[in-house]
């Protein structure tokens, strides 16, 4: 696979897509965590506009998934850009990729995974 384009909206779709894409990499078990974090971040911050402070309370109250589901029903939350911050992104950069860069306004990311004797980049 050289290039692919996927559309997803929900947390379930993000998890399923992360699993699918990870299997295209030489070490899927290493890559899946980072992909999952990036795609969930896109749903939370990109699609739904959830800020870090807004995410904290539902996490502590075990209501994070319900808050995401509630916001998925609000039409005004479907056009925001990714807000490139958070622990999940930093962790995915360390664990799953050799390099991770946000492009342009932050709604695209380039992940780099080194293969034996060559480099593979994915957007």
Residue 102 lies in a domain: no
Apex 22 CA angle, 70 and 112, nearest 5: 105
Residue 29 lies in a domain: yes
**What CA–CA distances, in Å, run from 32 to 14, 40, 72?**
11, 12, 24
* Average confidence (pLDDT) over 62-86: 67
- Range(s) of the domain holding residue 72: 11-96
Residue 105 lies in a domain: no
pTM score above 0.85: no
Residue 120 lies in a domain: no
Structure tokens at 2: 């050289």
Q: Which residue has the higher pLDDT, 16 or 60?
A: 16
**Mean pLDDT, rounded, of the chain:** 75
pLDDT score at 79:
45
For 29, phi then psi, to 5°, come to -65, -25
Q: How many domains does the chain have?
A: 1
Residue 92 lies in a domain: yes
pLDDT score at 103:
72
Residue 121 lies in a domain: no
Among 20-24, 37-41, 47-51, 77-81, which stretch is predicted with the lowest mean pLDDT?
77-81
Contact 101, 109 (CB under 8 A): yes
Residue 4 lies in a domain: no
* Average confidence (pLDDT) over 72-100: 60
How far from the centroid of its chain's Cα atoms is residue 35's Cα?
6
Residue whose structure tokens are 């950069």:
93
Residue 122 lies in a domain: no
The three-state secondary structure class of 114 is strand
């Amino acid at each position: 696979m050289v290039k692919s384009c996927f559309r997803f909206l929900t947390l379930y779709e993000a998890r399923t897509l992360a699993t699918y894409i990870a299997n295209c990499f030489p070490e899927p078990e290493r890559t899946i965590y980072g992909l999952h974090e990036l795609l969930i971040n896109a749903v939370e911050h990109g699609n739904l506009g959830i800020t870090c402070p807004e995410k904290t309370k539902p996490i502590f109250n075990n209501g994070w998934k319900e808050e995401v589901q509630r916001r998925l029903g609000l039409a005004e939350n479907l056009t925001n850009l990714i807000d490139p911050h958070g622990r999940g992104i930093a962790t995915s950069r360390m664990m799953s990729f050799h390099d991770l860069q946000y492009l342009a306004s932050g709604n695209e990311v380039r992940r780099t995974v080194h293969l034996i004797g060559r480099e593979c980049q994915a957007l």
